[in-house]
Amino acid sequence: MELQDLINSLSLEIKTPELDLHREVTGGYASDLLSDVIGNAQKGNIWVTLQIHLNIIAVASLKELSGIILVSNRNPDTDTLKKANAENVPLMTSTLPTFDLVGKLYALGLRCR
C-alpha cells in the first residue's frame, strides 16, 4: 500500500506536505518506546506513536520507516517538523487513539512485519 492511499483512507493530516508521499508501506508498528521501535520495527513500516519529540525522527530515519502517525490529536513542535523535513520522514496526525487507529490499519491489510 502506498503512504498516500493510507493517508486518504484514514483522513490523516499531513504535517510534512512537501515530502514524497508515494512510498510503499510494508507493514505497521505501534509503540511509544523508542528502544522497542529500534529493536523491532522493520524497514518500510508505518510507525504509530503518541511521542512528539525530536528523537522520533532520528529513530524513523535510522529504521528507514515509511512515516510516522501521531495519535490522539498530538502535534509535533516546530523543531520536530524541521527535522522531519530534513530527514525526509513523513509525519501525519490522527484524532484517533492508538487502539482505534491500529485497528483501522489492520482492517486495511497492514500487519506487523
Return the CATH number at 26: 3.40.1390.20
pLDDT per position as a tens digit, 6-18:
999 999 999 999 9
In the beta sheet, which residues pair with residue 93? 13, 70
pLDDT per position as a tens digit, 73-113:
999 999 999 999 999 999 999 999 999 999 999 999 999 86
In a domain, 112, yes or no: no
Domain limits for position 32: 3-107
In a domain, 70, yes or no: yes
In a domain, 76, yes or no: yes
In a domain, 82, yes or no: yes
Close Cβ partners of 10 (under 8 Å, ≥ 6 residues apart): 69, 94, 96, 101, 104, 105, 108
Q: Give pTM, 2 decimals.
A: 0.97
Give pLDDT, residue 112.
Answer: 85
In total, how many domains does the chain have?
Answer: 1
In a domain, 87, yes or no: yes
Give pLDDT, residue 19.
Answer: 96
Helices (H), 1-113: 3-10, 34-40, 55-63, 78-87, 98-107
In a domain, 50, yes or no: yes
In a domain, 113, yes or no: no
pLDDT per position as a tens digit, 12-59:
999 999 999 999 999 999 999 999 999 999 999 999 999 999 999 999
Mean pLDDT along residues 64-69:
98
